[in-house]
Structure 1
Amino acid sequence: MGLLPEFGNLFFTLGAFIVALSIIVAVHEYGHYIVGRWSGIHAEVFSLGFGPVLFSRVDKRGTRWQFALLPFGGYVKFLGDANAASSAADDAVMAGLDKREQRHTMHGAPLWARAATIFAGPAFNFIFSIIIFSAFIALKGLPAEEPRVGALLPMPGQVELMSGDLITAIDGEPVEDLRSYYAVADALEPAQNVTYSVERAGQPMEVTGPHPLPARAAGIALQSAARDAGMQTGDVVLSVDEAPVYAFTQLPPMVNAADGETVALRIWRMGEELDVDLTPRRTDLPLPEGGFETRWLIGLQSGTFFEHPMRSVSVVESVPMAVEEIGNIISRSISGLYHMVTGAISTCNLSGPVGIATTSGEMAADGLDSFIWFIAVLSTAVGLLNLFPIPILDGGHLVFHAYEAVVGRPPSEKILGAFMTVGLVLLGMLMLFALGNDLLC
């Protein structure tokens, strides 16, 4: 009976991974398909998955849409392609087509049409991510600038603040907006109780509450020591190795001081006190100014003891924010790869299929919002990966097209075949290396 939950978790994780991957692959391949169609290139097959076909139908344009048995990828096969990667022409098929018909093949179309069709896959991944990010921002809004108390969150001890209070000072330090709230909170000494100056129904008063940044878990990081130990969002850390904790700012130095040894946490959870032992993990953190810093972490995310009122955000405002989010993901990814190659950070930061599947399951378990956001992040990563100048990936094809644009002719079939083989080997080695990280790191 004890194995049933494990099998349930395995199937849930695998299912979440397949759903996330299928959506991202469908978006990517649809980009190739639709831009190819707009460019006059005929798609013979649009497949989600590889191997034996489970279901298929042919549309009025003659394209066969199909689901295949192995749901770990997909492809679009255009007229005249010898394979799903469009890396070579089927000479027999091409010989049977006249010049007008060859214009509708990937290998007989103008260079601009071929390049646009190839680039469309990653581009659609980015567009898909922009749509999701901007929709989230527009629908959920952003925290209002004024430091007003929204709904109070469960906390131990005395909390005299009320929903609707406007915070004007903390322990005598003036607070003008949300930015200054966090600045004062970061500089404030840890204390069990703090005095807040507030306006309530237009009347100024002083009330008592916890530290403005209490040791409360506003979130639990994925694949972290805290998550593995069963900690939950809303848990409040009362002590670390019997030393009392009143503010979140106390946790990082306490965890770092343990130097990787197990720490004993006393936590408060909805009126009940629990003991949790966990072992911090050495983690490479990106710095705002660039580069990375290695620290011991347990995976708790900080926050306040109340919800912030939200302000509405227009689509016009949310789209640039979504583009900025994608830019940040791409920048961090490239920086991380560079620092791994140069040895500045551990190569264990590179996740393989097992790590991505595990993250898919954890995000799905956290809720639909988290899962959809993760799909957008992963879609951005897939778009970026496909633009790498590795033969067999879209970026490799674009390099060949750039060569053709400069030289005036495409590389020979022999050279293309050799590069494709090298690309396949490189990609296989990268996948095996990442899989090794999943299993050994």
Structure 2
Amino acid sequence: MFDAPSIPFTVLAFIAVLGPLVFFHELGHYLVGRWCGIRADVFSVGFGKEIFGWTDKRGTRWKVGWLPLGGYVQFAGDSDAMSTPHELDGSEPQGSFGAAALWKRSLTVLAGPMANFLLAIVILTVFLATYGRIGTPPVAEVVQPGSAAATAGVEPGDRFVSIDGRSMDSFPDIPMAVAHRPGQTLTVVVERNGSERTLTITPRLVEETDQFGNVIKRGMLGVGNQSIELMPVAWYAAPIAAVEECWAITRQIGEVIGQLLFGQRSIKDLGGPLAIAKASGEQASLGMLPFIMFVAMVSLNLGFVNLLPLPMLDGGHLLFNAIEAVRRRPVSIATQQWAFRFGFAALATLMLIVTFNDLSGFGLWQKLAGLIG
């Protein structure tokens, strides 16, 4: 069991995670916008009053705000840092965001999330080329008595071929496919003695405690493989393998969000900035390699979440651009403003929920109840 990192260490680790990720996200917007001929007035890492900054020869003000919980690029013609919708009358100056062609605006918006995906791919590429890839075959060397797998008829030596149509290429694919799906009935194909068999398995919810004392709930089949095989990955094959790994993780993120939207998962499972900060400190205390891998995972999450079609997020802007492409004219400014207000309210509500969950995870409410009692 490890001691929990100190608060100052955790804060510094959180800034070390969020700062670079926000920078790369906004840098994606900036570079593609610049390539498309859109001028940027401000590039800010952090919000609030400027701590320090400078203005480059193109007139862009690069600055660092005192609140390191985000950032933004304010392009020429934007009404404010949040790109609040405003009326365009066709007289926007050359180089402003509103004067750019629809495809240029769309590419500029898309570039932010894509920069986060690219960063994760680069990190995983370096790791795979340096350390290799887990090649442990998806074979159940051990089947725990009374487990979901044992109940469904899985036997030691069975090779997992697929779970709900998803191919199992190595043993880590198995827990990844079921961790977020406890209680769901899954169709599993296993190979036994040269022939395939189709089984129905329902992963069971299991609570485990990690090295920091955090309780982790996840679905498990109850199978194990005690051998760990690392397969070398050639440098030219590493980017492809990294893309495959990122796709598998991103697909899992999408499935979890889908479960939340359709009521298959409780909103109590959502974590916010405080939970990310706590995890940042914990991973940083384990060493540089776990911390960098954690950065890659957060980068994937940040890229995916920003593509959700909610106003205020990049996905919301892309949705309005898609509607404009189909209608051959922009969505009315009144509609955009109402959608913006709805998006702001939705995100504010979400932040309240995840902050409540974070504080609950820290045991604050239980402690307060104890004091009151």
In the other structure, the counterpart of 1:125 is 116
In the other structure, the counterpart of 1:433 is 353
Range 318-327 or range 284-293, more displaced:
284-293
In the other structure, the counterpart of 1:79 is 76
In the other structure, the counterpart of 2:153 is none
In the other structure, the counterpart of 2:283 is 363
Shift of 1:15: 1.2
Range 283-292 or range 352-361, more displaced:
283-292
Report the Cα distance in structure 2 between the residues aligned to 1:340 and 1:122, rounded to whole angstroms. 21
Report the CA distance shift for 1:409/1:136 in structure 2 as closer, same or farther (over 3 A). Answer: same
In the other structure, the counterpart of 1:415 is 335
Aligned length: 303
Matches for 1:36-435 after TM superposition, within 5 Å: 36-89=33-86, 102-142=93-133, 179=137, 183=140, 185-186=141-142, 249=144, 285-286=180-181, 293-299=203-209, 304=226, 310-435=230-355
Report the CA distance shift for 1:30/1:401 in structure 2 as closer, same or farther (over 3 A). Answer: same
Instruction: Write the letter of the residue equivalent to 1:103.
Output: Q
**Contact 1:45–1:76 under 8 Å retained in 2:** yes
Instruction: Write the letter of the residue equivalent to 1:119.
Output: L
Report the CA distance shift for 1:366/1:286 in structure 2 as closer, same or farther (over 3 A). Answer: farther
Any unmatched runs of 5+ in structure 2? 149-177, 189-200, 212-223, 362-373
Cα RMSD, aligned residues only: 3.0
In the other structure, the counterpart of 2:27 is 30
**Contact 1:285–1:295 under 8 Å retained in 2:** no
Instruction: Write the letter of the residue equivalent to 2:10.
Output: T
Q: Which has the greater radius of gyration?
A: 1
**Contact 1:16–1:361 under 8 Å retained in 2:** yes
TM-score, normalising length from structure 2?
0.73
Shift of 1:439: 2.2
**Contact 1:36–1:113 under 8 Å retained in 2:** yes
Report the Cα distance in structure 1 between the residues aligned to 2:264 and 2:310, rounded to whole angstroms. 24
Report the Cα distance in structure 1 between the residues aligned to 2:331 and 2:251, rounded to whole angstroms. 32
Instruction: Write the letter of the residue equivalent to 1:366.
Output: L
Question: Which SS does the other structure have where 2:321 is aligned?
Answer: helix
Report the CA distance shift for 1:356/1:292 in structure 2 as closer, same or farther (over 3 A). Answer: farther
In the other structure, the counterpart of 1:149 is none
Report the Cα distance in structure 2 between the residues aligned to 1:107 and 1:364, rounded to whole angstroms. 42
Report the CA distance shift for 1:58/1:289 in structure 2 as closer, same or farther (over 3 A). Answer: farther
Per-residue CA deviation, residues 33-69 of structure 1 (Å, 9 max, x unaligned), is 0000000000011000011111111112211111111
**Contact 1:386–1:393 under 8 Å retained in 2:** yes
Question: Which SS does the other structure have where 2:71 is aligned?
Answer: strand
Report the CA distance shift for 1:304/1:58 in structure 2 as closer, same or farther (over 3 A). Answer: same
Instruction: Write the letter of the residue equivalent to 2:107.
Output: A
Identity, in percent, stands at: 37
Report the Cα distance in structure 2 between the residues aligned to 1:289 and 1:128, rounded to whole angstroms. 34
Report the Cα distance in structure 2 between the residues aligned to 1:316 and 1:65, rounded to whole angstroms. 36
Question: Which SS does the other structure have where 2:299 is aligned?
Answer: helix
Report the Cα distance in structure 1 between the residues aligned to 2:31 and 2:322, rounded to whole angstroms. 22
**Contact 2:38–2:96 under 8 Å retained in 1:** yes
Report the CA distance shift for 1:336/1:50 in structure 2 as closer, same or farther (over 3 A). Answer: same
Report the Cα distance in structure 2 between the residues aligned to 1:355 and 1:81, rounded to whole angstroms. 33
Any unmatched runs of 5+ in structure 1? 146-177, 188-248, 254-282
Instruction: Write the letter of the residue equivalent to 1:47.
Output: S
TM-score, normalising length from structure 1?
0.63
Report the Cα distance in structure 2 between the residues aligned to 1:292 and 1:336, rounded to whole angstroms. 17
Report the Cα distance in structure 2 between the residues aligned to 1:440 and 1:12, rounded to whole angstroms. 21
Instruction: Write the letter of the residue equivalent to 1:123.
Output: M
